[in-house]
Amino acid sequence: MPLCYWISVVCDAMATGYFWHWSARERWVRALQLGVSGHVLVLIAHLAWYASYDTRVALSGGYLRYWQAVWIVVFAGGLVGLSHGVARWWTERRADPWLFFAPLIGAYATVCFSAVSMSRSVTACALLLGFILLFGRYIPLVRSGAAHGGTWLRRESIFLTLVGIIALVFRLFYATRVMSNPDFLNTGSDGPAYDALAWGLIHAQPDPRWSHIPMFAPGYVRFLALVYWLVGRNYFLVCVVQSIFGVLACWFLYAIAKRLCGDSTARLTVGFGALSFPMIFAAVSIGHQAMDLFWTVLVVWCLVRYLEEPQRLGRWMMGIGLILGGRY
């Protein structure tokens, strides 16, 4: 189904672009805009019905509030986006480009229908947020607040700090959810092995179950042993340290994307990194994957900086070699 959907979106973009004389780049850009937006709206609507009526789904209080917040944001954002699009098309009286995005009205309608599966208070909050965003520009207080907020968010340091806080909060929240299971040590496939090897290294007593296996990353074992030596054998504090490295990885992603693709792409990239589930999962499980991500983006960042100024930064290549060789 997703393959057929994307084929139809691309064919629609190509056919429309042919009649409206769009460039090849513009056709692909609009295809991505239409495809991703429609796909997300339909998935959110489907998830709303699935989470509410499938008896196999049992969400905890925290996850339920998180899911409701996501639905509210999508509902309100869709209301604002479609309203502005239709208004602009109506004002300009032309079919290009807004009729091309008309299928999004149907996709957003599925989100509206999914309101039946949400509580009345959640639906009311979504409508209220949507109307505030839609008509807020006519309210002086809201307009001035939005202007100040936009000015602050355009400052790189404030934006990255906010994203870092969000990334850290999501990782630590998920860590608490993981630790609610008594078998949390097995969250990472090799978690028990790394835990035993690190604890044995501190006490100079190799664990006979794992010490004879050469495949475990010795660098990560020593990193975990250092954390245990400093703060004790505490799973949550290990997650805290790894989450901090995860936030740093997000910031390095921003720096790489900014140099290669520009500021807008960099902001989108760091946002995806902050909320990426594989990155969150790696940060809250014991395993070398938690540090692999950080070292990888650090190496890429060093390579990008080296390519910018190979003469002045050539000495960094030695550091890159040490990182690649010492990470394990």
Q: pLDDT tens for residues 241-269?
A: 999 999 999 999 999 999 888 888 888 88
CA dist 30 and 139 (Å) reads: 33
Structure tokens at 22: 């769009």
Task: Please report, to the nearest 10 degrees, the dihedral formed by the alpha carbons of residues 56, 59, 65, 66 taken in order.
Answer: -90
Q: What distance lies between CA 124 and its chain's CA centroid?
A: 27
State which residues of the chain have pLDDT below 50: none
Structure tokens at 272: 């995806």
Is 254:266 a contact under the CB 8 Å cutoff?
A: yes
CA dist 295 and 290 (Å) reads: 9
pLDDT computed for residue 318 by the predictor: 67
pLDDT computed for residue 86 by the predictor: 74
Which one-letter amino acid corresponds to residue 35? G
Structure tokens at 144: 């001035």
- Helices within the chain (DSSP H only): 2-20, 24-53, 61-92, 103-113, 120-135, 140-154, 156-179, 191-202, 218-231, 235-261, 263-275, 277-283, 289-308, 316-326
Q: pLDDT tens for residues 106-131?
A: 888 888 888 888 888 888 988 888 88
pLDDT computed for residue 223 by the predictor: 85
Is 171:239 a contact under the CB 8 Å cutoff?
A: yes
- Give 92-98 contacts, CB < 8 A, sequence gap 24+: 96/20, 97/20, 97/30
Q: What distance lies between CA 229 and its chain's CA centroid?
A: 32
Output phi, psi for 102, to 5 deg.
-55, -35
- In eight-state DSSP terms, residue 207 is -
